[in-house]
């Protein structure tokens, strides 16, 4: 058995894989593959409609917000967000809490004046900046909720005098949020939603069409909203698998239920890291992520040996990002507690081997 701790593309529920595999051969008895049905067909219209309804239901999306299924990943949104929300000659505010936040800042600067209100780069992004002021003359304030590379997560929604924009790529659907607090949320799918190739955008309609920019239609959120995410051929298969995954999440009791599971998984692993003499965490305790647990060996020379043991035990995807080193265990929604327990057992076994 494999235990997949990869940071993404990542684990999805086995029943979702099974249903998706069946649909690749014969989608809903049509005799056609989900990969070949028309995105204009009634069969796919039912898929995208259900997917949107599930997003709205699970996240309690309020009226006056559009739910968009787009392509290009979160990296495209680094540019597309300021294209749609930052007026020409205007200013936006950003929080720098990691690599992906810094990439968003870099792209936004091509669109206008960007004020970085705070950064934790000085400490290799091991914490979330706390003391900063959001300028009231900004068009919006952008921040990243979870930093996959550095293992930090911002759980409290900032109080802002301007619309909030958030990159929730790696923790959306993992914990309860109030969508009404945000002007725009975007998320690459390949963590807790579905396969890579799909990007979810939830945007307040009143924010659109006010920048004065003459955007190409393909980059204009208003065009995609008016076309119900069918302005051009959408990522049909990724939307279908996301719909299956959202069905799975709803059947489990929704986001409040999965959040409790995620709390237990993260607590179980962090407690073992703190107890075990051979490992230590990298993020400050107050900002530790539930989704991506980063830890390093107390003795650098044992890193390779532990990865070898992990491989023997079927624990995959544990090698840390090069910016941090050590290990990274991603605990996304579909990862069961049994996999976390298997990792804890391996860590305890590894520690015992050094006592002998």
- Residue 155 DSSP one-character state: -
Tally Cβ neighbours within 10 Å of residue 133: 10
Q: Which residues have a Cβ under 8 Å from the Cβ of 73 and sit 6 or more positions away? A: 188, 196, 199
C-beta separation of 83 from 218 below 8 A = no
With a CB cutoff of 8 Å and minimum separation 6, the contacts of 125 are 97, 98, 99, 147, 149, 150, 152
| Catalytic option among 96, 100, 171, 220 | 100
- Identify whether the C-beta of residue 173 lies closer than 8 Å to the C-beta of residue 58: yes
Q: Tell me how far apart the alpha carbons of residues 15 and 39 are, in angstroms, rounded to a whole number.
A: 24
The Cα–Cα gap between 278 and 350 comes to 8
* C-alpha–C-alpha distance, residues 296 and 273, integer Å: 9
Q: Is 220 labeled as catalytic in the residue annotation?
A: no
User: Is 191 a known active-site residue?
Assistant: yes
CA-CA distance, 162 to 122, in Å (whole number)?
A: 27
Place of tokens 């107890």: 275
Question: Is 210 considered catalytic here?
Answer: no
Contact yes or no for 236/37 (Cβ under 8 A): yes
DSSP 228: T
Q: Which of 2, 91, 130, 167 is catalytic?
A: 167
- 96, 171, 191, 248: the catalytic one is 191
In angstroms, the CA 46 to CA 66 distance is 18
The residues that are catalytic are 100, 167, 191
């Amino acid at each position: 058995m494999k235990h997949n701790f990869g940071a993404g593309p990542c684990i999805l529920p086995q029943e979702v894989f099974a249903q998706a595999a069946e649909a690749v051969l014969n989608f809903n008895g049509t005799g056609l593959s989900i990969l070949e049905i028309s995105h204009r067909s009634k069969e796919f219209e039912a898929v995208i409609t259900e997917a949107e309804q599930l997003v709205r239901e699970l996240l309690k999306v309020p009226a006056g917000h559009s739910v968009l299924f787009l392509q290009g990943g979160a990296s495209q949104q680094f540019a597309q967000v300021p294209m749609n929300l930052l007026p020409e000659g205007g200013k936006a505010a950003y929080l720098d809490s990691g690599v992906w936040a810094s990439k968003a800042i870099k792209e936004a600067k091509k669109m206008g004046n960007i004020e970085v209100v705070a950064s934790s780069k000085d400490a290799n992004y091991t914490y979330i900046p706390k003391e900063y002021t959001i300028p009231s003359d900004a068009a919006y304030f952008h921040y990243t909720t979870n930093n996959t590379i550095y293992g930090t997560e911002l759980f409290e929604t900032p109080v802002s005098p301007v619309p909030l924009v958030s990159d929730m790529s790696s923790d959306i659907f993992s914990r309860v949020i109030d969508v009404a607090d945000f002007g725009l949320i975007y998320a690459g799918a390949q963590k807790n939603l579905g396969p890579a190739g799909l990007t979810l955008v939830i945007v307040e309609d009143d924010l659109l069409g006010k920048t004065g920019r003459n955007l190409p239609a393909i980059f204009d959120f208003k065009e995609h909203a008016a076309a119900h995410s069918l302005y051009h051929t959408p990522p049909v298969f990724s939307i279908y698998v996301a719909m299956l995954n959202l069905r799975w999440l709803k059947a489990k009791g929704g986001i409040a239920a999965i959040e409790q599971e995620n709390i237990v998984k993260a607590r179980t692993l962090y407690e073992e890291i703190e107890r075990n003499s051979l490992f230590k965490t990298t993020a400050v305790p107050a900002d530790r992520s539930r989704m991506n647990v980063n830890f390093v060996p107390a003795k650098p020379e044992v890193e390779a040996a532990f990865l070898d043991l992990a491989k023997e035990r079927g624990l995959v995807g544990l090698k840390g990002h090069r910016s941090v080193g050590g290990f990274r265990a991603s605990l996304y929604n579909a990862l069961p507690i049994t996999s976390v327990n298997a990792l804890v057992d391996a860590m305890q076994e590894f520690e015992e081997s050094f006592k002998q």
